[in-house]
């Protein structure tokens, strides 16, 4: 009961993800990303162990396709899973097991991949991808959030979403952006409100972490 997107910005080499789900705390279980390595989605009877496993494979030089194939081959319950990966060169891959629930769909291109299960319509991932491709001039966080909003506008989850997350990594071992809505009647709108408040602070928060001497006094 989740729809998600992974994306890469070719200008900044940022990598990120955006997700929404009927279940609470989607941010804790679905999207995993690492700077200069790539990103992984694991959803539909989610197994969060697949995220770190996938990142280790990408870190070792595997492509997105090889990573997804290896995760599927190594998981005895793969038929229940939905998995996607994005590698540091922008390669993408997705897998949807035969036992993934409800309307299941995928859409993938270079630098972006979207997947969903228990969707109101199979068009949701393609709507997300179209939005992502149409907003290349914008910061990656904004592109991912707009893609999530496009997925919702296309019908979203067959059951109303209740949690959402926006995740972006850049150069450091910690995220540039990691915003989460764990339980809300309109989680994507609430995520948008959080992003509007955080966007002006994102660069400053990074400076405070890595170069505190030159951080703002605010």
- Per-residue confidence (pLDDT) for residue 218, from 0 to 100: 62
- Per-residue confidence (pLDDT) for residue 63, from 0 to 100: 98
Domain that holds residue 107: 2-214
Q: How many domains does the chain have?
A: 1
Q: What is the DSSP string of 29-73?
A: TSEEEETTTEEEEEESS--TTHHHHHHHHHHTT--HHHHHHHHHH
- Per-residue confidence (pLDDT) for residue 1, from 0 to 100: 84
Tokens of 178: 């990691």
- Per-residue confidence (pLDDT) for residue 35, from 0 to 100: 98
Tokens of 210: 């890595």
User: Other C-beta atoms within 10 Å of 105: how many?
Assistant: 20
- Per-residue confidence (pLDDT) for residue 211, from 0 to 100: 87
Residue 13 and residue 19: Cα distance in Å, rounded? Answer: 20
The DSSP letter of residue 202 is: H
Q: What is the pLDDT along the chain (218 residues), one digit of tens a residue?
A: 899 999 999 999 999 999 999 999 999 999 999 999 999 999 999 999 999 999 999 999 999 999 999 999 999 999 999 999 999 999 999 999 999 989 999 999 999 999 999 999 999 999 999 999 999 999 999 999 999 999 999 999 998 999 999 999 999 999 999 999 999 999 999 999 999 999 999 989 999 999 898 887 66
- Per-residue confidence (pLDDT) for residue 88, from 0 to 100: 97
Q: The domain spanning residue 143 has which CATH number?
A: 3.60.20.10
Residue 137 and residue 133: Cα distance in Å, rounded? Answer: 10
- Per-residue confidence (pLDDT) for residue 217, from 0 to 100: 66
- Per-residue confidence (pLDDT) for residue 77, from 0 to 100: 94
- Per-residue confidence (pLDDT) for residue 214, from 0 to 100: 81
- Per-residue confidence (pLDDT) for residue 215, from 0 to 100: 80
- Per-residue confidence (pLDDT) for residue 194, from 0 to 100: 98
């Amino acid at each position: 009961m989740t729809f998600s997107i992974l994306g890469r910005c070719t200008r900044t080499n940022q990598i990120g993800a955006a997700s929404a789900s009927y279940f609470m705390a989607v941010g804790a279980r679905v999207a995993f990303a690492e700077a200069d390595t790539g990103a992984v989605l694991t959803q539909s009877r989610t197994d969060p162990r697949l995220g770190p496993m996938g990142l280790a494979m990408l870190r070792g030089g595997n492509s997105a396709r090889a990573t997804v194939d290896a995760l599927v081959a190594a998981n005895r319950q793969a038929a229940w899973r939905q998995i996607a990966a994005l590698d540091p060169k922008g390669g993408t891959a997705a897998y949807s097991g035969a036992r993934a629930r409800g309307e299941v769909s995928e859409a993938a291109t270079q630098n972006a991949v979207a997947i969903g299960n228990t969707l109101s319509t199979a068009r949701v991932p393609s709507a997300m991808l179209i939005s992502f491709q149409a907003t290349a001039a914008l910061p990656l966080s904004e592109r991912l959030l707009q893609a999530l909003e496009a997925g919702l506008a296309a019908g979203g989850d067959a059951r109303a979403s209740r949690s959402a997350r926006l995740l972006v990594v850049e150069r450091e071992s910690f995220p540039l952006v990691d915003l989460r809505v764990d339980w809300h009647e309109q989680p994507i709108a609430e995520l948008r409100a959080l992003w509007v408040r955080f966007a002006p602070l994102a660069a400053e928060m990074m400076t405070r972490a890595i170069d505190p001497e030159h951080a703002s006094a605010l």
